[in-house]
Structure 1
Amino acid sequence: MSQDKQIHLCGFLVAGPVVHSHAIWRNPAHETPFLTLGHYAGIARTLERGMFDFVFFADRLAIADRYGDSHEIGIRHGDQDATRMDPVPILGAMAAVTSHLGLGATRSTTYDAPYNLAREFATLDHISGGRAAWNVVTSMNDGEALNFGVAQHLSHDERYDRADEFMELAFKLWDSWEPDALVLDRAAGIYADPAKVRYANHKGRWFQSRGPLNIPRSPQGRPLIIQAGSSGRGKAFAARWSEVIFALQPNLTRMGVFKADVAAALEKEGRAPDAAKVMMAVMPFIGDSRAEAEDKRDLHDSLVDPRVGLSTLAAHANADFSSLPLEATVNEIADTGSQGNLAALRSIAGDGSTTIAEAGRIYGRGVMCPRVTGTAEDVAEELISIVDSGAADGFVISPAFLPDTFDDFVDRVTPILQKRGRLRSSYGAGSLRDRLNGAGRP
């Protein structure tokens, strides 16, 4: 294969009617059976055929009801939080129909317990043969707090303080079984060596847990760690723990700035600049001609009600800005939720003049996910160009429609990337972590 830098690929999903695109469930070509297992199993097979490194599900733990202090718009029009099924059972089913595709789920360090989470991902890693990944989130708004009996969401930095300790304990639990602790000597009747199974005995500010984990060490030892923090505190957290950093930046300039910030944060943590792969979200529209691709994009956008974008934006910002006039700018939104998302939205117009109405359209059509529109050759060339500029190590492919976008990408773009020597032609041996680090490449 070419010595040019290999491009990593991830499929982005939500276990519900929309992903970044709020038009998915309105696909005029066919129904999108997002409540069925076959829907996700088919996507998993397609992504594996397309040589994607992994798939991961974004998740949240509440419906969106911040805009107008009501769930009216989000439920009526189907926003990003109108339905989110639990992704972990779905990944178990995906594991059964694939052999190589990495399998990632979002779990919150604010509303979960380290012991439960450590068991979930150790189990997934075992049954998938070393393909588990955890997208670490701290959650973002008061709706989630209320669902767990908490009157108000923790402050932004407190959530990350709690998350740091959560990670420390989860790692202790995954490490509580040494790699060779499991003996399975049937003749002698020895199941495991107790000297190689340790108690965690963790006592901290946020958590106490004795351990050890009641599952032997999994093939990867722990799941691949994914994180998407884009605030200053979020980047510091990602630099400490992450192996993949998912970023949603609206243009190449911001992609480059983000990648440089990550490198600096990794260096501050004493890690190599390439210790975490930075993967940028993109939404491709692919046609036999650029005009056909643009028609696909325009049809997609025509199906998005700007109000549904405002519902998701309010949930992400953890702010009710419904009293502001639609011609007000996004600078007037006071957020306590996803600070990086709102900062990126403000940056789209350099003078900060993006209006709330415009923000609703932007959020509804793709939550600021940059679009790559053109022929398969155009799309492949743009992805290669971004990687070669140093702004990304790969891409999180966000679908405009399902399974249509993934089908188009795998059937049309994957072969071009392979021909150019930028994407594997087979998976080779090793775990998900091995493949992302270049081991086991055929």
Structure 2
Amino acid sequence: MQDPAISQRARDIAAKVEAFVREVVVPYEKDPRRDHHGAPLDELVVEMREKARAAGVLTPHILDDGSHLTQRETAVVLIRSGLSPLGPLACNTNAPDEGNMYLLNHVGSTDLKARFLAPMVAGTARSAFFMTEPADWGGAGSDPSMMKTTCVRDGNHWVVNGRKAFITGYHGAKIGIVMAKADEGACMFLVDLPDPAITIDTIPNTIDNSMPGGHATLTLTDLRIPADQMLGEAGEGFKYAQVRLSPARLSHCMRWLGACIRAHEIATDYACRRQAFGKALIDHEGVGFMLAENRIDLQQAELMIDWCASVLDSGSLGTVESSMAKVAVSEALMRIADRCVQVMGGTGVTDDTIVEQVFREIRAFRIYDGPTEVHKWSLAKTIKREWKDTQG
């Protein structure tokens, strides 16, 4: 029985996205247009997006009138876009762009939407979100209150100085959302990229490589930003970050669930075809049980995503719920990816399939948008606060 909360329109969009990813995007997984670290080059992204545009599946979660699908409807679409590591890039549902589009749609002025949001929705501009700072600088990581990057008003401009780290997709991005600290509190600004006041210190090699532009460490030196490019009000930056981060965490869960569904399909096909000790691998309990456990974890992850999405659709910020979903889903997907590698043995650790990449990407996902341990710590604080409230 179909869930009435998911419109037929959303189901149709999801079906088109899945067909596009499986039929058009999957063949690109062997395309050699990659950087030294294996990340897709923008040339490859542009080509895939042109095909997505022609197929009517570019930025599919944002409708022609600018409205968004509900979070529950977005889930059925983004899960399908994640069936290939390249799918979110092709369909323009990838991080950090998807989260940045969500934030701008909710907080940006009409002028800022026209200038910065429109090219992102059109898939012609990638973006970056400048929040995390280098550990060796003592800056903000999981604790945003440690932010050291500053912004000072100078006439009709703000001047920003500081450093940022793990800025996903910076190299090649055209739009940036910069967080900095003023006397009023945290602020957010929109900037055109590149800017000579922003220099790349390094782009480290990381365990994951699905994101074009890598995860850069940057220095911002006297970056001058027109005052009308501030997002919202001065001092409200942390509030706006929560507007972005809760659905963005959930969107990560959606996309990587799609990747693990595909990895499970590949491992299942391998186990059903591969023979050992006189029978198919899947008929050995040690292998068959791993695939059974995968099926259970996949179903539980989907249910957790749907539950958290329904909370966000109710109008709640969903910070507690998104923390729970981030922990539960990322840990479940890690188990799934690990089992897929194990089921496939030696083949599972090669790049003959996407299984080994999915394993690496999910391992990084357990850290990105807040490590599991930080979310558990935050949840424990909530539990303690709730207990205190019951004590009168």
Q: Normalising by the residue count of structure 1, what TM-score does the alignment of the two structures yield?
A: 0.26
- Please identify which structure carries the higher helix content: 2
User: Which structure is higher in RCO with an 8 Å CA cutoff and minimum separation 6?
Assistant: 1
Q: Normalising by the residue count of structure 2, what TM-score does the alignment of the two structures yield?
A: 0.29
